[in-house]
């Protein structure tokens, strides 16, 4: 490990960045250095611009992927190398605002019914019932279930924050039935490797298979169930602040995006056109006679 790599790693550890973030940043900076076959401290704004053009035009990376590269390079040059030009010379691409596809309650039931594995069905039911991120659901422990207070404890979710979410009675019954068969100890949803929780990839593969078997035309990922959780709560009248706390969003503006998806509320609004006096029926005029 080079001194620069170690220094950047130490800087990320001091700031307590998530492990996945640390690995991602190191990977991005390494790819940047390998592209020029030079140490990053020997490179500057012009090389960064060339690399961004390469990622955009040749690699054709999506804006979300480019933003990860930008974040990694900004950290390296602004924090580790303390370059004053870092922010101005490393622009972030504008990400298009796309609305996710949302499942209806009936489609959620149809999807979950197609999950043939008991553990996976219990896990995906938990994601929909609580709105957890898939990484939060896979890292649940048996002791996180509090049937007395009817809550689930999310330990060190995104942003390294603890929070509580509701535990529905129907979900509690599913988890109790699952526990009687699997008898998990430690991790609520253990993986193939002893002592480790189930992986996100395994859950994603199950979603892909269940979506195909269910006959749904909409794509389904674990995050689709989290979206459905938020939208269905909003459509039933739950206030945004409560949904924000349940989802673990840092900003209310992030949660407010779900207003665009709550069609039962937004699209049920009366159009001003309906408030106008009823117009007379349209009667087409006869075409003028033609004399030639």
For 243-273, what is each residue's pLDDT tens digit?
Answer: 888 888 877 777 777 776 666 555 555 667 6
In this prediction, residue 98 carries a pLDDT of 72
In angstroms, rounded to a whole number, what is the distance separating the alpha carbons of residues 14 and 291? 91
Q: What is the pLDDT of residue 32?
A: 95
Per-residue pLDDT tens for 2-39?
999 999 999 999 998 888 899 999 999 999 999 999 99
pLDDT at 230: 87
Spatial CA neighbour of 235 closest among 266, 257, 276: 266
pLDDT tens per residue across all 292 residues of the chain: 799 999 999 999 999 888 889 999 999 999 999 999 999 999 999 999 999 999 999 999 988 889 999 999 999 999 999 998 888 888 888 877 777 788 899 999 999 999 989 999 999 999 999 999 999 999 999 999 999 999 999 887 676 778 899 999 999 999 999 999 999 989 999 998 888 999 999 999 999 999 999 999 999 999 899 999 988 888 888 888 888 888 888 777 777 777 766 665 555 556 676 667 776 676 777 777 776 6
Structure tokens at 78: 């602004």
Tell me what pLDDT residue 7 has.
95
Q: Where are the alpha helices (DSSP H) in the chain?
A: 3-14, 19-36, 45-53, 63-74, 86-89, 105-113, 118-130, 134-138, 169-182, 200-214, 222-235, 240-247, 252-256, 263-266
CA distances from 207 to 113, 125, 226 (A): 12, 12, 13
Fold of 3-89: DNA polymerase; domain 1 (1.10.150)
Catalogue the active-site residues. 133, 158, 223, 226, 249, 258
**pLDDT (0 to 100) of residue 262:** 66
Q: How many CB atoms neighbour CB 162 within 10 A?
A: 10
Q: Which pLDDT belongs to residue 144?
A: 94
User: What are the CA-CA distances from residue 71 to residues 58, 67, 88 (Å)?
Assistant: 20, 6, 13
Task: Specify the DSSP class assigned to residue 57.
Answer: I
Handedness of CA 106, 112, 113, 114 (dihedral sign): positive
pLDDT, residue 265, reads 56
DSSP state of 143: G
CB 252 within 8 A of CB 154: no
Residue 266 pLDDT = 54
Q: In the CATH scheme, what is the code of domain 105-266?
A: 1.10.443.10
The number of angstroms, rounded, from the C-alpha of 270 to the middle of its chain's C-alpha atoms is 32
For the chain, the structural domain boundaries read 3-89, 105-266
């Amino acid at each position: 490990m080079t001194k620069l790599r170690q220094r950047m790693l130490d800087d990320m550890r001091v700031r307590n960045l998530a492990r996945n973030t640390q690995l991602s940043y190191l990977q991005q900076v390494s790819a940047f250095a390998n592209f020029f076959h030079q140490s990053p401290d020997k490179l500057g704004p012009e090389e960064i611009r060339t690399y961004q053009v390469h990622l955009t035009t040749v690699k054709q990376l999506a804006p979300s992927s480019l933003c990860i590269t930008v974040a990694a390079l900004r950290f390296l040059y602004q924090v580790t190398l303390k370059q004053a030009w870092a922010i101005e010379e490393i622009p972030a691409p504008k990400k298009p605002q796309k609305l996710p596809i949302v499942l209806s309650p009936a489609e959620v039931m149809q999807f979950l019914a197609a999950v043939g594995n008991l553990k996976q069905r219990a896990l995906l039911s938990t994601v929909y019932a609580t709105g957890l991120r898939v990484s939060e659901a896979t890292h649940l422990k048996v002791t996180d279930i509090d049937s007395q207070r009817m809550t689930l404890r999310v330990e060190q979710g995104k942003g390294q924050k603890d929070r509580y979410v509701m535990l529905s009675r129907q979900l509690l019954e599913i988890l109790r039935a699952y526990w009687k068969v699997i008898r998990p100890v430690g991790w609520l949803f253990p993986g193939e490797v002893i002592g480790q929780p189930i992986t996100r990839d395994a859950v994603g593969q199950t979603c892909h298979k269940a979506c195909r078997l269910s006959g749904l035309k909409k794509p389904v990922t674990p995050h689709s169930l989290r979206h459905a959780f938020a939208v269905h709560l909003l459509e039933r009248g739950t206030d945004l602040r409560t949904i924000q706390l349940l989802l673990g969003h840092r900003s209310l503006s992030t949660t407010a995006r779900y207003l665009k998806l709550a069609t039962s509320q937004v699209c049920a609004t009366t159009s001003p056109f309906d408030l106008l006096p009823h117009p007379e029926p349209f009667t087409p005029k006869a075409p003028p006679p033609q004399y030639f």
